Amino acid sequence: MKHDCTGVILAGGRNKRLPGIKKSFHEIRGRKIMEIIHGLFSSLFDEVIIVANDPAAFAGWDGTIVSDIYPCGCPLAGIHAGLFYASTGNVFVSACDTPFLERRLAEYILSRTGPGIDIVIPETDAGLEPLCAVYSKQCLPLIEKNLENNIFMIKKFFKKQRMRTIPMDKIQELDPGIDSFFNINTPEDLARARAMAVK
C-alpha cells in the first residue's frame, strides 16, 4: 500500500569521517545503502525526493532530485527542502546512511499522522530521532525562521509544533534490535553494519 506522503532522503552529507565514495554508495550485502533506502521508499510512496547538494551524483535514481534552498549544509535545511518541494502535505524523512530502517516501524509512524499533528517521531532512550520522522508542511514557517536566524538544531522548533511521539516499547515491538536508527559515519560503522547484515 502506498501512503499519501512523500519520502524524503537526505543525501547532502560531507563524508568527513568516511572519505572516498559517498557513504550512501557503499555496499552492504551486495547492495548500495542508497539502493536499500530508495527501494523501501519507492514501495511506500508515489513521490520520492532526494535532497542532495551535488544532484548530478544521484541523476540515475528514480525520484525528484533537489538541493537545499538555504545553503547551510545541515539536516534541517534538507528537511526544509523536502517539505518545500513535496506535493503532499506530509513528508517522511530519512538520512541516506541508515540501511536497517524497519518497514514495520516506518509504516507505524505513518499510521500515527492525522489532523492537528505536525510531527510524528520515535523517542528512544537516547532521545528523539528526527531523521526517522514525519513532518507536515505546517512546520515550514518555523523551520524557515530558525534557518534565517542561524538556528540549525532540528529539535529547536519542536516546542511550537503539535507533536506525537512513538514510545520505546512500541519501537522495540516493531524493531527489536532498534537498528532503524543505526547510521554510518565512520569506517568502523560501515564494518559493523556489514557484520550486522550477515546475522
Which residue segments constitute the domains of the chain, with CATH numbers given?
A: 3-197 (3.90.550.10)
Give the N- to C-terminal CA distance of the chain in Å, as an integer.
29
- pLDDT at residue 128 in the model: 95
- Rounded to whole angstroms, what are the CA distances from 111 to 4, 32, 34, 90, 166? 11, 28, 24, 12, 11
Render pLDDT for 55-79 as a digit per residue (tens, 0 to 9). Answer: 888 888 888 999 999 988 899 999 9
Q: Check if the beta carbon of residue 63 is closer than 8 Å to that of residue 38.
A: yes
Please state the rounded mean pLDDT for residues 161-170: 94
pLDDT band for position 16 (50/70/90)? low
- pLDDT at residue 13 in the model: 63
CB burial string 114-128: b at 16+ within 10 A, e below: eeebbbbbbebeeeb
pLDDT of 129 > 70? The answer is yes
One-letter amino acid for residue 161 of the chain: Q
Q: Which of 180, 87, 165 is closest to 127 using CA atoms?
A: 165
One-letter amino acid for residue 109 of the chain: I
